[in-house]
């Protein structure tokens, strides 16, 4: 398969064409093959993996570490994360030998101006996500030509038909786990002897920020506990172009 030079990744039309070609070529590829292709396409210096270090994050991080543990990992530390998530991040860094994890925080100026009382999550959760996740991610991705994330089609909703590779403004966006099943995720955990997120045992099937995460019943969708009682299902980093 022909790869694309980083120098060619300049315009949205070029990116769209590259994404479509790569998606076609990788439609049946394994997660490791997708990450290997991302590396060959743009190079390590131009590639980042974005991880929440949530309940299913270790699987993708394990696959990435087996390919190249030095790929930069971006972690959005929103200021509202569970202490268990922060501890889990440190555990996985040590367990998997991750060499370049970058914890990105929202700008103090944005927080003091737009959320001085830390109640924005309640009054306007979209705005809260924007200043704590969307804007910090856009800032963190500026040096990169492509990024990797862990969305899966089985999560449903807006994720049900995600491609393996897509255009994200002037970047390529790789979804190595688009095709995987929940059983395959569990197998990666088992074979890799990966530790679970500490909150899984308490009934959290999906973990984000503390105010907007709740426990979910076994018969509920894995993301049912996110923004419970609201129409909101996404924080915005996957519904807004980063460039």
How confident is the model over 155-182, as pLDDT tens digits?
A: 877 778 899 999 999 999 999 999 999 9
pLDDT score for 94: 98
Side-chain half-sphere CA neighbours of 53 within 13 A:
27
Residue 39: pLDDT band with limits 50, 70, 90: very high
Q: What is the pLDDT of residues 40-93, one digit of tens each?
A: 999 999 999 999 999 999 999 999 999 999 999 999 999 999 999 999 999 999
Minimal CA–CA distance to 52: which of 237, 187, 201, 181? Answer: 237
Cα 223 from Cα 43, distance rounded (Å): 33
Minimal CA–CA distance to 98: which of 78, 68, 53? Answer: 68
Residue 8 has pLDDT above 70, yes or no: no
86, two tokens:
């922060």
Q: What is the pLDDT of residues 82-122, one digit of tens each?
A: 999 999 999 999 999 999 999 999 999 999 999 999 999 99
pLDDT score for 9: 46
Active-site positions?
Answer: 235
Residue 2 has pLDDT above 60, yes or no: no
**pTM check: above 0.85:** yes
pLDDT score for 232: 85
pLDDT score for 10: 54
Residue 234: pLDDT band with limits 50, 70, 90: confident
Cα 61 from Cα 2, distance rounded (Å): 26
Residue 124 has pLDDT above 90, yes or no: yes
* Number of residues assigned to the chain: 243
Q: Which residue, chain included where needed, has tokens 């959005």? A: 76
């Amino acid at each position: 398969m022909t790869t694309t030079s980083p120098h060619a990744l300049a315009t949205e039309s070029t990116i769209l064409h590259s994404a479509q070609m790569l998606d076609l070529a990788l439609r049946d590829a394994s997660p490791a093959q997708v990450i290997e292709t991302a590396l060959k396409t743009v190079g390590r210096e131009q590639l980042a993996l974005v991880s929440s270090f949530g309940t299913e994050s270790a699987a993708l991080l394990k696959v990435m570490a087996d390919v190249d543990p030095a790929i930069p990992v971006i972690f959005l530390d929103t200021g509202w994360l569970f202490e268990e998530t922060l501890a889990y991040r440190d555990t996985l860094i040590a367990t998997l030998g991750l060499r370049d994890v970058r914890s990105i925080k929202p700008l103090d100026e944005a927080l003091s101006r737009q959320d001085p009382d830390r109640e924005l999550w309640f009054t306007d959760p979209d705005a809260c996500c924007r200043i704590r996740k969307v804007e910090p991610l856009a800032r963190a991705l500026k040096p990169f030509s492509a990024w990797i994330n862990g969305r899966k089609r089985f999560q449903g909703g807006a994720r049900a038909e995600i491609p393996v590779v897509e255009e994200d403004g002037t970047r390529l966006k790789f979804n190595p786990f688009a095709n995987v099943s929940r059983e395959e995720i569990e197998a990666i955990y088992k074979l890799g002897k990966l530790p679970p997120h500490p909150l899984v045992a308490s009934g959290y099937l999906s973990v984000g920020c503390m105010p907007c995460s709740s426990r979910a019943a076994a018969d509920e969708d894995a993301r049912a506990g996110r923004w419970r009682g609201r129409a909101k299902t996404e924080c915005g980093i996957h519904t807004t172009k980063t460039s």
